[in-house]
A and B are shown apart, each in its own frame.
Chain A
Amino acid sequence: QVQLVESGGGVVHPGRSLRLSCAASGFTFSSYGMHWVRQAPGKGLKWVALIFSDGSDTRYADSVKGRFTISRDNSRNTLHLQMNSLRTEDTAVYYCAKDKVDVGATKIFDYWGLGSLVTVSS
């Protein structure tokens, strides 16, 4: 069955960096677009970034553009999110999510990981 397991979260000071990873199994990782979606404590869901199946194209929410970089290693079935210049408003649980269809990116999230908490605080 599909499994997505995030890691790399923690507490970090404003302006510092953190790298999240998501280990995928149970499906052909290299065939699917992948996303990061975040949820601030007690708040709703916000899409963060998308990477297409072969890594050739990426998209970002305006709030993270220029600070965050999504990448993937298809040989290791792993998704990453490099987060630089972190701000207190980036504090959230970060979920990796699989795109539903193996063509392009439908932006439908059919499987989600359990999430990794990132806390940005001085």
Chain B
Amino acid sequence: DIQMTQSPSSLSASVGHRVTITCRASQNVRMYLNWYLQRPGKAPELLIYAASSLQGGVPSRFSGSGSGTDFTLTISSLQPEDVATYYCQQSYSTPTFGQGTKVEIK
């Protein structure tokens, strides 16, 4: 299976600040990379699919980039409701997820 590695494992940032999370695949997944957020005690939600396409209803402060093995999720201006754990997932082959990045407000 393709291994997905996220960094950092956790971060703390102030409201309004820019946040960047990276995801690396153990082999080329082209642009078959998706991002989810999971708020505490809730089900995951799709944010970004195909590396950079914003899922309907997701605020435009979220964006994704990358291809091949290296990907980035950016929150342009962190909001209190963005406190969550973020997961990347490859859909190139048997689905696998990163270990998650926990985002908190400083």
A residues in contact (CB < 8 Å) with B: 35, 37, 44-47, 59, 61-62, 95, 100, 106-115
Contact = CB atoms under 8 A, between A and B. Distances in A.
B87 A44 contact: yes
11 contacts: A35-B95, A45-B38, A45-B87, A45-B89, A59-B94, A61-B94, A100-B49, A110-B46, A110-B49, A112-B44, A114-B42
Given A44-B99, A46-B97, A108-B46, 6 more contacts: A44-B98, A45-B100, A47-B95, A108-B49, A108-B50, A109-B36
A67 B100 CA distance: 28
Interface of B: 1, 32, 34, 36, 38, 42-46, 49-50, 55, 87, 89, 91, 94-100
Task: With a 10 A CB-CB cut-off, give which of A45, A46, A59, A110 has the most chain B CB atoms.
Answer: A45
B81 to A, nearest CB: 18
A9 B70 CA distance: 37
A102 to B, nearest CB: 15
B95 A44 contact: no
Contacts of B89: 45, 109
A35 B95 CA distance: 11
Nearest to B92: A107
A78 B45 CA distance: 21
Contacts of B1: 62
